[in-house]
Structure 1
C-alpha cells in the first residue's frame, strides 16, 4: 500500500491542477513529497518495530494512513493536501521498509528469493497499478474519491490484520506470542531504545555490499519504474489529448512487465542457487548477482525505446513507448528481487535495518529523479 498510495493520484494530476489553479508539474509534487517522506520515516519506525514487534506497528500504520487519506479527501487547498499527503506517507511507510524483515523472519534461505520476490513485486506493482485503477475512478467520480477509496482499503486492512495478522518478530530465549495475547500489546525486546537506534540503519553505508545493492537497485527503480510512470501522466495528455482513463490504461504494459520480471527474478534466482548447491558447491550470496546483469540491460533498452518512440510519434499515439516501458519494468523487477535478496542473504540478522536503508536510498533517488 505504500507505493500504491504514493502513485494513486498520478492519473488525476490534470484534475488536481485545475482544482487548485496550479500547473500539472506542481500537482506532481504531491507524489514527490510522498516519496521523500516514505524514504525518511522508516528510520523512526524501525526501532519501534524491533522493540514492540511488527504487528503493532502495522496496525498503527493503517490507522494513521486512514486518517491521512480522509484529510486529503477533505482538503480545501493545495497546501493542506500536501500536509495530509505527508502524514499519510509517514504512517504508511512501515509497509515499505519492514517487509524484507518479515520475509526473512518467515522463510528459510532456500525459499527466500521467491517470497522476497512476492513482497518486492507488490512494492513495484503499486506504482503502475494505482494510476491504472484510479484512472477509471477520476473520470467517473472525481479524483477526491481516490482518497476515500484508499481510506476504505486502510480500514478493511486494519480489521483483517487485527484478527489474522501474525507477529514474526522473535527474540531468542523468549516465548513466541500466543494467539490469546494478540489482543494485548507488550514489549518483545527488553533492550532500551537509544537515540542512536533511529539512525542506526544509515550505518550500513560502511558496508560496500549493501551500498552497491541499494544504489544499483534504486537506480534501476528510478529509471525502470519512477521515470516512466511519472512521465506518462505529464506527457500523454498534452501530446495525445488523453483523458485520465486513457492515461491509466498506459500502465498495463508496466504491470505485465513487472509480473514477468518477478517470475524471472524470483523463481529462476532460487533455481540458480539450488543447482549450485546440488553440485555440492556452497551458494554464496554473490552467486545470485550474475542474473542481475540481464535486468540492467533490459532497463536501459526499455527506457531508450520509451523516450525515443515518444519523440518520434509526434501527436499520433502508438504502442511502442508502452512496449519500451514494459521491457524496462521486466528488468527493474529482476534487479529488485535479486538485489534485495542478496543484501538480506549477506546479513540476515539485520534484515530490518537493510530494508530501511534500501528504502531510504530508493526513495531519495525517486524524489530527486522527477526534478531532472
Structure 2
C-alpha cells in the first residue's frame, strides 16, 4: 500500500514538471487518500497540489473558481459590507439640516445614526443561521432589495418617528455582509491568500464611516439631505443588478476526500447550484433557536475574544470617535459647511487605504515566507511548516503604535488650532490613526479566523456584535469626555486606553495563545 501511495505521489510530481508548473507539492496525508483522477483535476485546475484547504472535483466548489470570479464576488460582498456603515454615517454632515427640517434637537438628529449602529450589531445574529441553511446568495439579494425600499421610505418620511423607523429597517436589512463577509473569504480563498483578501473586506468595512459623510456632504449641500436617501436607494438597486450575474453561491457543502466521494454529484448542475438554487436548502441540518445565539459563545475562546476586544477599542476611538465627533468639534471650531465638513473625512479614507497596504499583503508574505521553495529540484522535499497563527500578531504592533500617535496628534493639534482658522494638522493625525486602525483590523480578524476557521462566519458576527455595541455606547459619553477634559487631553486618554486594553492583551495572547488552544483541544478531545 505504501508503495502505491509513493508511486502515485511521484506520478503527480512528474505531471507537474511535464505541465511546466511550479512544484509546490506537499507530501501530506490528505493527498494520500486522493484518487489519481482527483489529483489530475486539481493539477489541471490550479497547477499545484499544495492547496489548503483541499478542493473537491466540483466546478461549483468556490475554491475551484477562476480568480476573476472569486475577486468579483468578493468586491460585491465587500462593497455590501461598506454600505452598512456608509449608510449609517451618510447623514452626519446633514445633522443640523435634519434637526431644523424635522424640528428636533441636534442630539436627537444624531440618534438617527446611533440607532442604526445598534441594529447593525445584532441583526447579523438572525441572518447568519439563515445564510448557513439557504446560502449567501439569497441573503445578499433580499438584503439589498429591501434596503433600497426602506431607503425610499426614509426619503419620503414626513416626520422624525417615521424616518427613525425606516432607518432601523434599513440597518436590519443591509447588515448581513458586515458580519458574514469573513465567512465568504474563507469559503472562497486558500489560506495562503487569506490575509490579503480578508483585508479587502475589512478595509471596506472601515471605509464606510468616513466615506459616507465625505461623499454625502456634497449631496446635502447642493441638492438637499433627502437626496442622500435617494442616492442610497439607487446604490442598492445597482448592487442588486450586479449580484445577479456576479454574486454566485459560496456556501458549499464539501465531503471528505475518499475514493467513493470524490466525484461531483451531477445534480444540480454547477450553474444551477451557483445561480438558481435560491430557495433550496444547502444544509439540511435542522435549524434550532440556540443557533441564533451561537456566535456569542465564541467569547469562550481566548484566540477570538482577546483580538476582538483589542480591535474593538481601537476601532471605537480611531473610527467611531473621529467620525461621530468631527461635526461636534469642527463645526463650532471652524464654522464648516456640510460640504466642508464632509471633506474632513478624507483623512480617514486615505489613512485606511494606506494602512491596508501594510496589513493584508504584508501579513500574507510574513506568514508564507518560511514556506517558499528554491525550485523544482527540491519538489519532493516537504516544505517548512506554516508558522503558528501567533506569528501574524507581530504586524499588529505597528497598527497599535500608529493609532496611539494619531489620536494624540489629532487631539493636541485640534486643541491648539485658533478658532475660525482651519489647518491640516488634525487631519494628518486622523490619517495616521486610521492607518493604525486598519492594520489592527486586518491582522487581528485574520488571526482569529486562522485559529478557528471552522467558525469563520460566526467570528464575523461575534466581532460585529462587540464592535457595534461599543460603537453605539461611545457617542453617548464622548461629548462629556471632550467637555470635561478638552480635545487634547481626550486624545491622550484614548491613546492610553488603546495601549492598556488593546496592545498589552495582544502581547499576552502572542505569548500564551498557542498553549491555550492546545490545552482546550486536549480538554475537548
TM-score (norm 2): 0.69
Say whether residues 1:84 and 2:154 are aligned partners. no
Match of 1:34 in 2: 116
The answer to whether the 8 A contact 1:25-1:234 is kept is: no
* Alignment RMSD (CA, Å): 1.4
Larger Rg, first or second structure (1 or 2): 2
Equivalent-residue separation in structure 2 for 1:158 and 1:177 (angstroms): 24
Say whether residues 1:326 and 2:431 are aligned partners. yes
Equivalent-residue separation in structure 2 for 1:300 and 1:223 (angstroms): 10
The answer to whether the 8 A contact 2:102-2:160 is kept is: yes
Give how far 1:276 is off.
3.2
Change in CA separation of 1:281 and 1:165 when aligned onto 2, cut-off 3 Å = closer
The count of corresponding residues between Structure 1 and Structure 2 is 372
1:302 pairs, out of 365, 381, 406, with 406
Say whether residues 1:97 and 2:202 are aligned partners. no
Change in CA separation of 1:110 and 1:17 when aligned onto 2, cut-off 3 Å = same
Say whether residues 1:231 and 2:313 are aligned partners. no
Which one scores higher on RCO, CA 8 angstroms, separation ≥ 6? 1
Match of 2:36 in 1: none
The aligned runs of 1:108-147 (5 Å cut-off) are 108-147=190-229
Say whether residues 1:359 and 2:452 are aligned partners. no
The aligned runs of 1:180-195 (5 Å cut-off) are 180-181=272-273, 182-185=275-278, 186-195=280-289
**What SS is found at the alignment partner of 2:359?**
helix
Match of 1:221 in 2: 315
**What SS is found at the alignment partner of 1:199?**
helix
Question: What are the Cα deviations for residues 57-108 of structure 1, in whole angstroms up to 9, with x where unaligned?
Answer: 1111111211111111111111211111110000011010110000011100
Equivalent-residue separation in structure 2 for 1:56 and 1:207 (angstroms): 31
Say whether residues 1:246 and 2:340 are aligned partners. yes
Equivalent-residue separation in structure 2 for 1:133 and 1:306 (angstroms): 22
Match of 2:358 in 1: 264
Equivalent-residue separation in structure 1 for 2:314 and 2:394 (angstroms): 16
Equivalent-residue separation in structure 2 for 1:45 and 1:208 (angstroms): 25
Unaligned runs of 5+ in 2: 1-82, 256-263, 373-382, 478-525
Equivalent-residue separation in structure 1 for 2:196 and 2:172 (angstroms): 29
Match of 2:397 in 1: 293
Match of 2:290 in 1: 196
Match of 1:48 in 2: 130
TM-score (norm 1): 0.97
**What SS is found at the alignment partner of 2:462?**
helix
Give how far 1:27 is off.
1.3
The answer to whether the 8 A contact 2:122-2:465 is kept is: yes
Q: Which moved more, 1:307-316 or 1:214-223?
A: 307-316
Question: What are the Cα deviations for residues 287-308 of structure 1, in whole angstroms up to 9, with x where unaligned?
Answer: 1101101111111111111122
Equivalent-residue separation in structure 1 for 2:100 and 2:393 (angstroms): 47
Give how far 1:280 is off.
2.6
Say whether residues 1:67 and 2:149 are aligned partners. yes
Give how far 1:229 is off.
0.9
Question: What are the Cα deviations for residues 6-26 of structure 1, in whole angstroms up to 9, with x where unaligned?
Answer: 111111111111112222222
